[in-house]
Amino acid sequence: MPSCHASCEQGAESIDLFTGNKMTVYQKMVLAGHHDHSLTARLLNSLLCQHFGRHKGLRLLDLGCGDASFAASILNQGDTPLSLSSYTGVDLSATSLQLAAQQPLPLPAGNGSSSSRRLVEQDMLGFLRAWQEGQQAQQEAAQQLQQGEQEGEGEHRASTEHAQQHGAHSRKHQLRQQQEPQLQAAPVAVAPASPPGEAYDVVLCALSAHHLARHEKQQLLCHARCALARGGCLLLMDVFRKEGESRDAYMERARHYYFEDGGQGSLRPEEAEEVWAHVSVYDYPETESDYRHMAAEAGFARCKLLHTCRREYTKVLALWRD
């Protein structure tokens, strides 16, 4: 979940808390309910079931997937899991991706990891940019192919009309003309041998976007919308500033959260210090209104607040593409 993206200015150091032995600290926070993961998983499962149904076979893109445990908890609620046709997890942490490869996801039986479970070690903006460039290249190739076919049909039609105009010539000339080779159609473009994958039904981005600068968050939303199929949704779970709250004021609230409120009974003092060292340097949260504005700028049709955690620290938004 949290380690896929690192801002270009920050570098890969921003994922340090979520790699190696330090990942245990993050897992303890999840189990202790710091960000309402369990409740959020139930809410998102219900939302996806209502919108898509349990048996659709969703195409899921998980940005900052971490060990994919959050995606698995969303999908595997109840007696009947939400079915997937494909899962793509993107993260900067190779350690996390190794764990994600073992996560029990409701993928088609017999397909295997290589075909239906794709794990990509890359920052999420880089992945989305590459996906969109691939789609654009595929569309351009298809247009060239169509244009080439139309040009070929035009030349064939011209040659047919020319033959009809000379239909009154002698039979000997007609026979000689019929024996000549037909005109060849103009060369046409060939579609790429390995086109990019289909658009996604759901893009999940959980506790990742707050590492990005404001303009990068805007790019994230724009690229995510392009990667969605019509009727698809971006599920954004993240930390938020309150309306009118500065980053400094947010940091003071976060410090109280980890050391005096949320951290009590779940993190040892040295573990809380590790978390704070990460949060104080790499966290740049936005307000809900900021995200609503960016979602509108990106072209999303609707933005709905699904959940606010009891400490007003984490929120979950659903952004829909019509």
197-208 residue pLDDT tens: 679 999 999 999
Report d(CA 145, CA 165) in Å as an integer: 31
* Lowest mean pLDDT segment, chosen from 39-48, 73-82, 105-114, 312-321: 105-114
Whole-number Å distance between alpha carbons of 163 and 282: 74
With vertex at residue 190, the alpha carbon angle to CA 189 and CA 196, rounded to the nearest 5 degrees, is 125
pTM of this structure: 0.78
Angstrom CA distances, 165 to 74, 134, 158, stand at 70, 47, 11
pLDDT at 8: 46
Task: State the pLDDT confidence band at 186, using cuts at 50, 70 and 90.
Answer: very low
By the 8 A CB rule, do 80 and 107 touch?
no
In the prediction, which pLDDT does 196 show? 55
Task: Locate 321 and state its tokens.
Answer: 């593409």
* Confidence bin at 1 (pLDDT 50/70/90): very low
| Other beta carbons within 10 Å of 4 | 33
Each residue's pLDDT tens digit, 62-109: 999 999 999 999 999 988 899 999 999 999 999 999 999 999 999 987
DSSP label at residue 286: B
Looking up tokens 């949320």 gives 262
**Beta pairing class for 84-91 and 117-121:** parallel
Interatomic CA distance for residues 84 and 116, integer angstroms: 9
Please give the average per-residue pLDDT across 306-321, as a whole number.
91
When pLDDT is averaged across residues 106-116 and rounded to a whole number, the result is: 70
Provide the pLDDT confidence category of residue 134 given band limits of 50, 70 and 90: confident
Looking up tokens 């404001």, which residue turns up? Answer: 214
DSSP class of residue 193?
Answer: S
Summarised one tens digit per residue, pLDDT across range 222-237 is: 999 999 999 999 999 9
Closest alpha carbon to 16 in 28, 2, 27: 2
Q: How many CA atoms lie within 13 A of 141 on its CB side?
A: 13
The overall average pLDDT reported for the chain is 80
